[in-house]
Amino acid sequence: MRRAVAVRLSALLAAGALTAATGVALSTTTASAATGGVTGYATQNGGTTGGAGGQTVRATTGTAIHQALCSRASSSTPITIQVEGTINHGNTAKVSGSSCNTAAGVIELKQISNVTIVGVGNGAVFDQLGIHIRESRNIIIQNVTVRNVKKSGSPTSNGGDAIGMESGVRNVWVDHVTLEASGGESEGYDGLFDMKDNTQYVTLSYSVLRNSGRGGLIGSSESDTSNGYVTFHHNLYENIDSRAPLLRGGIAHMYNNHYKRLNESGINSRAGARAKVDNNYFEDSKDVLGTFYTDAAGYWQVSGNVFDNVTWSSRSGDHNPAGPNPTSNTSVSIPYGFTLDGANCVPNVVAQTAGANKGLKVSDGSCTPQSPDPTDPGPTDPGEPTDPGPTDPPVGTNLSLGAGADGSSKASGTSYGNVVDGNTGTYWSPSGSTGSVSVKWGSATTVSKVSIRLATGSGTIGAYRLLNHDTGAVLASGSGAGTVSFSPASLKKITLEITNASGTPRIAEFETYAS
């Protein structure tokens, strides 16, 4: 039996006062959800927007969270639930309704979609109470702490998982959360972040996972290989015995994470899984990458990682560490743009950004944490148009005319090619409110200016990034339509990635210019 984790818990969030009655109230403020923009694999498959565009409510009990879900018009009606205070077994009851399927003693997100749960105010702590996502899609969980969830002993919740996903789950973004236990399996705890039974397109970002025997898994057994497309970035794994994570089948991308005191093993790629491991910092740990506890091999592509006081065991039987000098044994193609911080600055960046109640700070690849822009600037002047359209009209040849186009998703009746046809009467829309569309050429083309033109009836672009698709570099970012300039870039493909929107954007033209 594996040894118990030596627990050194830091101070946890103080609980806020509970409101009277049900503990749910309409909020007059805008939730801080999705600030900084969804990243990683959660941007794919139509994107992840959570409750954007729906009603915002405030909840201070688990019952109130369930009540908010059950009060929607349907199981897919968007909603943002702002949570403050301590959520526990004493205030989390089952609520019934046609738009929900809840249970007592667990936050149940089952057979639903388009939901954001975000901690606000003095903080949200789910104490000995797990969050269970089942047969659901388009979920955001942000700025909360989940602690000491048990599968044995008392009280128990969610099979011992802090956050668990299973059964056809799609598009989940978990961001700036703190997940922690007080020991391993012998103390009654299981995984901090588990995905199984066909769970795909998930991102865990800027989060802390600590003091647990098991960090998390992707796939519950060697035959459960239908999961994958998971991104882990800018997370702290600290004082974890194993599973950081365990990956069975599928693809996972780990970049800019700080792994500290992985006591037995770390990233465990097995059963044909492929892990792309970029610019991480491994410290005071053992066997941080490899295939462990099975003879079903997994694979990895490694680049730019730092191994600081990492020890490696000898290969023997079903124990196959990648070190002491890890080299790639596969290649993994990543479909989304991302910008890497240098591995040497990862401990400092992660310390300032990861976890709940850190102000939702993010990194832009400069090794300097950034305070994110607000997602909602507040009311505009009555005379201000929703979208002023292109400014500073570019001159010269529109390089997009005659070029190719593709993207991450498209709404029924729209086409990627409509953004390069020179006709503002046709357009591309993502299948949801977020997504990406690209212009591409057969040979390298120099671009330094882009003009985005919206079609009539379009939703508003809340936030976007322009990416050099060849390298993943961010060329520019902003909000709304219009014209943006950047340093000249020679590329074969440029991508407009819409990360936040009000309504569904209709991109009539994605124009590109050399100057």
Residues designated as active site: 243
- CA 488, 513, 333, 505 dihedral sign is positive
Using alpha carbons only, what angle is made at residue 57 by residues 52 and 60, rounded to the nearest 5 degrees? Answer: 130
CA 220, CA 161: separation in Å to the nearest integer?
13
The residue assigned the tokens 């400069």 is 366
Q: Show the tokens assigned to 214.
A: 């098991």
Residue 258 tokens read as 């700080």
Apex 385 CA angle, 379 and 391, nearest 5? 120
Check residue 13 and report its DSSP letter. Answer: P
Report the SS3 class of residue 42: helix
**Four-CA torsion 312, 313, 314, 319, nearest 10 degrees:** -120
Cα separation, 494 vs 403, in Å, equals: 11
3-state secondary structure of 351: helix
> Is 111 within 8 Å of 138 (Cβ atoms)?
no
Spatial separation of the C-alpha atoms in residues 444 and 467, rounded to whole Å = 15
- Distance CA(420)–CA(401), nearest Å, equals 5
Residue labelled with tokens 């749960």 = 117
Q: Which one, of 68, 7, 50, 5, lies nearest residue 432 by Cα?
A: 50
Separation between Cα atoms, residue 495 and residue 469, nearest integer Å: 6
With beta carbons less than 8 A apart as the criterion, state whether 260 and 234 touch: no
384's CB contacts (< 8 A; 6+ apart) are none
Count CB-CB contacts under 10 A for residue 303.
Answer: 13
Nearest C-alpha neighbor of 335 from the set 104, 40, 97: 40
Q: Which residues contact 260 (CB under 8 A, 6 or more apart)?
A: 236, 237, 238, 239, 283, 284, 285, 347
Q: Strand 208-214 relative to strand 236-242: parallel, antiparallel, unpaired?
A: parallel
Provide the residue count of the chain.
515
Residue 363 makes CB contacts below 8 A (sequence gap 6+) with 234, 256, 341, 349, 353, 369, 370
Phi and psi, residue 269, nearest 5°: -95, 120
In 287-340, beta strands by DSSP E: 289-292, 299-303, 306-311, 319-321
